[in-house]
Amino acid sequence: MTETSDWDDDDWQPVDGVTLPGLPPPAQPPPLGERCPRCATVVPAGIPRCPGCLAPLGTGPPPERLAGGVLRLLFRAGGGHLDVPRGGELRLGRSGDWAPEASALLADEETVSARHATVVHTAEGAAWVTEVARGATNGTRVNDRVLVPGRAVRLRNGDRIELGPRAGFEVRGVEEEPAD
């Protein structure tokens, strides 16, 4: 025999801010970190850059121009960077023979191809990225836009480049309006 009542669990009403006598108020959880002003990701306290978009936290905007007109690629993993002087080209990949400067930073990135992409920094200050003509196994994206292998895409300050699903960097030091 089952007993029925005049009320059920659906009749309960939540009450906020009520503390039972004799019990301390509930503890507030510690802060998780701060929100990135650029992408709103919650970043743990003590981390200087957002892991999602590489925006600096709590330090103000990064300098737009670097000494000597250098183009800087700020990598997410390990906080490393690579500089490309004006008139220079940098190959990105895991092959030490094909991409000697970048291979040390990308050696452990299994989703980056041995020959993945190139970055060109023109003498006028413009910057371009091109996925290798045969295509990288896991692709290349600029600000979530998938690149077509062999076609150059113009870069701007703050652009986020993804080499496959896990490795990526942010671009710094591109002239605002370089000549073509």
**Residues 114-166 pLDDT 10s:** 999 999 999 888 899 999 998 899 999 999 899 999 999 999 888 999 999 98
* Residues ≥6 apart with Cβ < 8 Å to 138: 111, 112, 113, 163, 164, 165
pLDDT for res 166: 86
pLDDT for res 6: 59
Long-range contacts of 55-61 (CB under 8 A, 24+ apart): 58/34
Backbone angles phi, psi at 71, to 5 degrees: -95, 125
Q: How many residues does the chain have?
A: 180
Q: Residue 83: name the closest of 69, 96, 94 by CA.
A: 69
CA–CA separation, 115 vs 118, rounded Å?
9
Question: Mean pLDDT, to the nearest integer, of 57-63?
Answer: 54
In this structure, are residues 128 and 155 in contact, taking their beta carbons and an 8 Å threshold? yes
Local confidence band at 178 (pLDDT 50, 70, 90 cut-offs): very low
Q: Which two tokens stand for residue 119?
A: 């970055």
Question: Mean pLDDT, to the nearest integer, of 54-81?
Answer: 69
**Residues 11-23 pLDDT 10s:** 666 666 666 666 6
Please give the mean pLDDT across all residues of the chain. 80
pLDDT for res 3: 58
pLDDT for res 79: 74
Question: Mean pLDDT, to the nearest integer, of 49-74?
Answer: 68
CA–CA separation, 10 vs 117, rounded Å?
59
pLDDT at 104 over 60: yes
pLDDT at 68 over 90: no
pTM to 2 decimals? 0.62
pLDDT for res 69: 78
pLDDT for res 113: 94
pLDDT for res 180: 45
pLDDT at 7 over 80: no
